[in-house]
Amino acid sequence: MTVEGGGGRDAATTPIIPGFSPDPSVCRVGADYYLANSSFEYAPGIPIWHSRDLRTWTQLGNALDRESQFPAGASDPSRGIYAPTLRYRDGTFYLVTTNVDAPGEQIVVTATDPAGPWSDPIVLAGLGGIDPDLAWDDDGTCVLTYCGLDPALRPHGGDLPVIAQARVDLARGEVRERPRVVWGGTGLAHPEGPHLFQRDGWWYLLIAEGGTERGHAVSVARSRAIDGPFEAAPANPILSRRSTSSPVQNTGHADLVERPDGTWAMVYLGVRPRGFSPAFHVNGRETFLARVEWVDGWPVVHVDDLLPAPADTAFIDDFTGPLHPRWVSPGAPLSAFVERAAGGGLLLRRTDAATGAPAALSARTRDLRWRYEARVDASAGAVALRVRLDERHWYEARLDAGALTFAARIGPLSVSDDVGRVDGEAVTLVVEAVDATAEGPDDLRFGVIGADGERWLAQKDGRYLSTEVAGGFTGRTLGLHALGAEPARILSARYSPVAG
């Protein structure tokens, strides 16, 4: 069961890592916590975070930062890199994940420093599925548990995935046995996202169920042996917001961690939908925190902890130092189209991926209301500021030799309108998420700041850049990309939350 508390800025409604940070996996080394998230088609992939208190997190880097680990630009929206598991053993960090565009494989990368560099992948073939987990039995045997999608694992039919497992040899990159089913879940849809951990002589198997939409939930089972048989908890699911009026929904896909004082905590994903039914979430699935109490040998989830403050999401970047790990791209590795400009800032070259996505210097939106400004060289090549959910759902403002255009694509429909001109050698393109004028989650308002001051160009309903409209597993990103043969020049970028 889930126990909720009273008012305040509580963990039930405040993400600890806001904005497109799904499928969290956490581990502790001494007094330090480390966390990894899914990244799907974006590169570099799998953000790695650090905290000393589980509440305040700093991004250290991205684990998959080169082509030998993840071929950037080859994956369609909401494909690519799925749910990772991050673990630590004997001085080494292990990160296991799935690239769904390499079916039948699970990949493992390792590092002695979670900030990187991370190794080239160890490829474990013949394990068709997603959401892998690593655990080590008492004799040191490594076990990979995952959401099995191979029909051979379901000899009696049915279309639900199962939780499967196999012993693996990471040193040799080998699967040591035929995978076996260890649990089918409680009967809810889509059992997935398994994590195994040990406590008081029991192996606990934590899974997500119900699908990653409004029915999402966390369930748990236990066994005396790492390979089962597993007994389901009597109070499953132990976490869900389904059929409630909570402002945070779709809660699930959790991982557990023990604090140094012996208490336990859970990280899990959730979304913050807004607007009229069915309500729309736009920042993707975010990472939340809960306290865990053990009662009669089973975890009970409490979401009544108070958080000291929301995450600090604001940034100003003039691109004078190394590129911050917040910057990613859906269409190509950053190194393929970003370079330092001689006079300061960055040059962006037009590069389109095989999937059709333009390579864009992109950052995740992380708040319900926010403002983003990109100061660009108006005398350089044409440039666009795009708010993207995927390649079929985006709005953008374009600047080409002083001419301004607003363009949009919603599914099969696209529009492009001339919206005036702007003077000045340096021009600032602006976009804000503001209160909705209709029944959506917000409006997106595009503007420009030039020699004659600030003015607004277009304001559009934000629901069309939501998961409920577009589908998929990601959230909005703010991308800057070149439009023509001449490189665009970006002088600085600024993002700030706005009180709503």
Name the burial class of residue 177, with classes exposed (0-12), middle (13-18) and buried (19+) by CB atoms within 10 angstroms of its CB: exposed
Tokens of 498: 């706005």
> Domain-by-domain residue ranges, the chain?
2-302, 315-497
Fold for 315-497, please state it. Jelly Rolls (2.60.120)
> What is the pLDDT tens value at each position of the chain, 500 positions in all?
454 444 446 778 999 999 999 999 999 999 999 999 999 999 999 999 999 999 999 999 999 999 999 999 999 999 999 999 999 999 999 999 999 999 999 999 999 999 999 999 999 999 999 999 999 999 999 999 999 999 888 766 667 899 999 999 999 999 999 999 999 999 999 999 999 999 999 999 999 999 999 999 999 999 999 999 999 999 999 999 999 999 999 999 999 999 999 999 999 999 999 999 999 999 999 999 999 999 999 999 998 777 778 899 999 999 999 999 999 999 899 999 999 999 999 999 999 877 788 999 999 999 999 999 999 999 999 999 999 999 999 999 999 999 999 999 999 999 999 999 999 999 999 999 999 999 999 999 999 999 999 999 999 999 999 999 999 999 999 999 999 999 999 999 999 999 86
The CATH code of domain 2-302 reads 2.115.10.20
| Rounded-to-integer distance, Cα 362 and Cα 481, Å | 9
List Cα–Cα distances, 29 to 17, 33, 112, 293, 428, in angstroms.
Answer: 20, 6, 12, 21, 44
pTM of the shown model: 0.96
DSSP summary character for residue 485: S
Q: How far is CA 377 from CA 343, 362, 406, 419, 489, in A?
A: 11, 18, 18, 19, 5
363 three-state secondary structure? strand
Residues 259 and 55: beta-carbon distance below 8 Å: no
Rounded to whole angstroms, the Cα distance separating 362 from 80 reads: 17
CA distance 361 to 329: 6
| Residues involved in catalysis | 23, 192
Per-position DSSP letters for 263-278, written without gaps between them: -EEEEEEEE--BSSTT
Q: Do domains 2-302 and 315-497 have the same CATH topology?
A: no
Three-state DSSP state, 71: coil
